[in-house]
């Protein structure tokens, strides 16, 4: 398969990020790009790495472990961004540097216990269910402080920020208003003294709106790699 499109797409996205930073008065370089490589091949990840991309996000543990193993000679920063089942925490704590999807206290406690002593603390973000959609993972804002306070007590976790996947809205103003709500929670927590520095919001379809509202990390898959290969259950695991 021809993978030249990956380098071209990465250049295009970097350009769009720079333009959005300028347009919305964000400091140059304040928005980081995480390449979401779920359901993409190791070769595709290697092509992106060779084009200068070093951080990659994965959603499904077994699939991710296969690729981490195949690409172990590359200095990749792996981020776990998918829903976390309790029985998966051990391997996530072992193989990832970042977890974006902490949605309950139990997961934080397990990751802390299972993170090996010789590894640096795991960087974690708490996932917020912005639209309070009943079938979606992520914390309601009402439970957020309890989990965040708990994480602060766990030595092998480093609290970095918040993540959300708002319900998709085609309209730019509506996209902005969802992201603005997450930004408000982020700012409120910082005002209370929580040391948050990462606001993980924005995907292929809505990253410009996210940057306008203060995103510091956009998670982009299809706009870099193209469509994902079909995978059973992917829509419900998202």
Enumerate binding residues for ligand PLP (CB under 6 A). Answer: 36, 38, 59, 81, 165, 203-205, 219-223, 238
Task: Look at strands 98-102 and 77-80 and give their pairing.
Answer: parallel
By beta-carbon proximity to ligand PLP, the closer residue of 185 and 223 is 223
d(CA 31, CA 202): 11
53 CB-near residues (< 8 Å, 6+ apart): 10, 33, 35, 224
By beta-carbon proximity to ligand PLP, the closer residue of 9 and 59 is 59
Q: CB of 218: closest distance to ligand PLP in angstroms?
A: 8
Q: CB of 50: closest distance to ligand PLP in angstroms?
A: 21
Q: CB of 112: closest distance to ligand PLP in angstroms?
A: 22
Phi, psi of 68 (to 5 degrees): -60, -40
By beta-carbon proximity to ligand PLP, the closer residue of 112 and 215 is 215
By beta-carbon proximity to ligand PLP, the closer residue of 38 and 115 is 38
Element (H, E) at 208: helix 207-212
Task: Tally Cβ neighbours within 10 Å of residue 172.
Answer: 12
Q: CB of 154: closest distance to ligand PLP in angstroms?
A: 23
84 neighbors 99 (Cβ within 8 angstroms): yes
Q: CB of 192: closest distance to ligand PLP in angstroms?
A: 26
By beta-carbon proximity to ligand PLP, the closer residue of 11 and 153 is 11
């Amino acid at each position: 398969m021809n993978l030249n499109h990956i380098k071209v797409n990465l250049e295009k996205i970097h350009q769009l990020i720079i333009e959005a930073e300028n347009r919305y008065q964000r400091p140059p370089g304040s928005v980081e790009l995480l390449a979401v490589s779920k359901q993409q091949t190791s070769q595709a990840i290697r092509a992106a790495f060779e084009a200068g991309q070093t951080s990659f996000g994965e959603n499904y543990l077994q699939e991710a472990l296969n690729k981490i193993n195949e690409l172990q000679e590359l200095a990749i920063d792996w981020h776990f961004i998918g829903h976390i089942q309790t029985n998966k925490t051990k391997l996530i704590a072992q193989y990832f540097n970042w977890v974006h999807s902490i949605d309950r206290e139990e997961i934080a406690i397990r990751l802390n216990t299972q993170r090996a002593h010789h590894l640096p603390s795991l960087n974690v973000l708490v996932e917020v269910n912005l639209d309070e959609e009943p079938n979606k993972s992520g914390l309601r804002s009402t439970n957020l402080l309890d989990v965040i306070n708990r994480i602060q007590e766990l030595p092998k976790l480093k609290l970095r920020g918040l993540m959300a996947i708002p319900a998709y809205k085609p309209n730019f103003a509506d996209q902005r208003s969802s992201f603005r709500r997450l930004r408000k929670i982020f700012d409120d927590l910082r005002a209370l003294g929580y040391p948050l520095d990462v606001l993980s919001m924005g995907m292929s379809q809505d990253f410009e709106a996210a940057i306008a509202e203060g995103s510091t990390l956009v998670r982009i898959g299809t706009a870099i790699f193209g469509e994902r290969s079909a995978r059973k259950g992917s829509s419900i695991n998202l």
